[in-house]
């Protein structure tokens, strides 16, 4: 941002940081906020290649943190599903159903069908697996 006056550069940086904060809220809806956030930061780096702070170690640490976050989310999902009576195979079928539903319904409602498909697919996958195993 060497070409912008200081107040405007600060305003744009502040707006970008605010955007990153809102992107983190995507986690509440089960959307891939960590990866969207990394993509936005990568776009920022491409727009400002002179930034020395975003070196290789920065990216290694950021990707490692995103992977740890995903692992924790998966682990908590399994723990909570077991707590409420789901089997491991039901949880796995729910994950497969969520992916399939998101892909199948993604073209609907301007892309929002992916969210609906993920929720419906997760429920259907888990329900079908539990019924096949004879569980209530």
What is the reported pLDDT for 63?
Answer: 94
119 vs 101: CA distance, rounded Å: 8
DSSP track, 39-55? HHHHHHHHH-TT-SSS-
Q: What's the confidence (pLDDT) of residue 5?
A: 63
- The CB density around residue 14, as the number of other CB atoms within 10 Å, is 10
Percent of the chain with pLDDT over 90: 24
Beta carbons within 10 angstroms of residue 13's beta carbon: 14
Arithmetic mean of pLDDT over the chain: 85
pLDDT at 83 over 70: yes
- For residues 77, 82, 86 and 89, what is the CA-based torsion angle, rounded to 10 degrees? 70
Q: Are 97 and 127 in contact (CB under 8 A)?
A: no
């Amino acid at each position: 941002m060497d070409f912008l006056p200081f107040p405007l550069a600060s305003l744009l940086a502040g707006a970008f940081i605010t955007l990153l904060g809102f992107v983190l809220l995507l986690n509440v809806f089960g959307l891939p906020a960590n990866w969207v956030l990394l993509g936005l930061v990568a776009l920022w780096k491409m727009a400002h290649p002179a930034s020395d702070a975003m070196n290789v170690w920065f990216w290694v640490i950021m990707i490692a943190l995103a992977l740890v976050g995903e692992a924790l989310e998966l682990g908590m999902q399994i723990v909570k599903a077991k707590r409420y009576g789901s089997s491991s195979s039901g949880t796995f079928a729910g994950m497969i159903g969520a992916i399939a539903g998101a892909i199948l319904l993604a073209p609907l409602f301007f892309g929002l069908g992916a969210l609906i498909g993920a929720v419906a697919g997760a429920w259907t996958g888990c329900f079908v697996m539990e019924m096949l195993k004879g569980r209530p």
